Amino acid sequence: MLADARIVLREQFLKADVGITGANFLIAETGQTVIVTNEGNGDLTQLLPRVHIALAGIEKVVPTLEDTMTIMRVLARSATGQEMSSYTTFSAGGRRKGDLDGPEAFHVVLLDNGRSKLLGSPTEDILRCIRCGCCLNACPVYGKIGGHAYGSTYSGPVGAVLTPSLAGLSEAHHLPNASSLCGRCEEVCPMRIPIPKMLRHFREEEVASGMAPASARRGIALWAWFASRPGLYRTMTSLTTGVLSLFGRKRGRFSSLPMAGAWTATRDLASPQGKSFQSQWARRSKS
């Protein structure tokens, strides 16, 4: 499969008039664009055709070469566990006098597409993302549902922040909810992006702006009313679990339940197995 791809694509690289690449970094100090690959596809794309066009988001700008190298030291390690990707290429223009190869023209397109409006916003820190994919590997939700479920270019925890940030919360307000807020993404992030904090921000905004379904908002309001009255909350929960364990004792699970249809439509609900944590704690403390 690989050998075939090499033969077919090599022909394309040699024939093309224009090569379009992205850029991992844009260096303010030198005006260089940087691409990082393991395959070498990016290099053939930018070396062989007559024109090289690099298209990159404005957040890719890094001040100096030294800053770039600091980031390079964490990029591949966080992405694939390599110390360094096979090819890191710095480009500073078109073919020069005497050069035997390289593109005749070199054009860089800087793309904003919603990035500048994130500056000064609660999700500003996501602009530091270097797309290593480390948070995807660490995310228990991503591990279960996979990338396509996120419905956009960027998946996993970073996608759950980036997609609503760039496309608008109304387009993707379900994404920040697809998280257990366990915090592993922030723990492993080499750029120290506080992803869970941003997911919580979007959840608040979702409720505040009325995007969350009315039933969900009413349900949470009801829960909050009980939760702020501990005595009543404990009575109600022990009553509910008591009733559920009584009815579910025989099978140990429920295939259908009133008000929990969305859950039981695809899987059973386990029956409560005994007293609540708090009541057990209270009993043990006494004895």
**Which of 100, 208, 262, 265 is close enough to bind another protein by CB under 8 A?**
100
**Which of 4, 8, 17, 83 is close enough to bind another protein by CB under 8 A?**
83
**17 near another protein (CB under 8 A):** no
Q: Cα Rg for the chain, rounded, in angstroms?
A: 26
Separation of CA 220 from chain center: 26
**33 near another protein (CB under 8 A):** no
Question: Please, what is the minimum distance in Å from the beta carbon of residue 286 to another protein?
Answer: 55
Contact range with another protein by CB under 8 A, out of 64-72, 159-167, 171-179, 191-199: 64-72
**29 near another protein (CB under 8 A):** yes
Residue 64 Cα distances to 31, 106, 119, angstroms: 10, 21, 21
Nearer of residues 94 and 242 to another protein, judged by Cβ: 94
Nearer of residues 14 and 270 to another protein, judged by Cβ: 14
Question: By the 8 A CB rule, do 149 and 163 touch?
Answer: no
Question: By the 8 A CB rule, do 36 and 87 touch?
Answer: yes
Burial of 166 (0-12, 13-18, 19+ CB in 10 A): buried
Question: Please, what is the minimum distance in Å from the beta carbon of residue 154 to another protein?
Answer: 18
**93 near another protein (CB under 8 A):** yes
**Four-point Cα dihedral 20, 152, 168, 58, nearest 10:** -30
CA–CA separation, 135 vs 221, rounded Å?
A: 32
CA–CA separation, 18 vs 12, rounded Å?
A: 11
Report angle CA 52, 163, 211 to the nearest 5 degrees. 155
Total residues interacting with another protein, rule: CB under 8 A:
61
From residue 187 to residue 226, what is the string marking binding to another protein with x (rule CB under 8 A)?
Answer: ----------------------------------------
**82 near another protein (CB under 8 A):** yes
Enumerate binding residues for another protein (CB under 8 A): 1-2, 5-6, 9-10, 13-14, 28-30, 32, 38-41, 43-44, 47-48, 58, 63-67, 69-70, 72-73, 80, 82-102, 110, 112, 116-121, 124
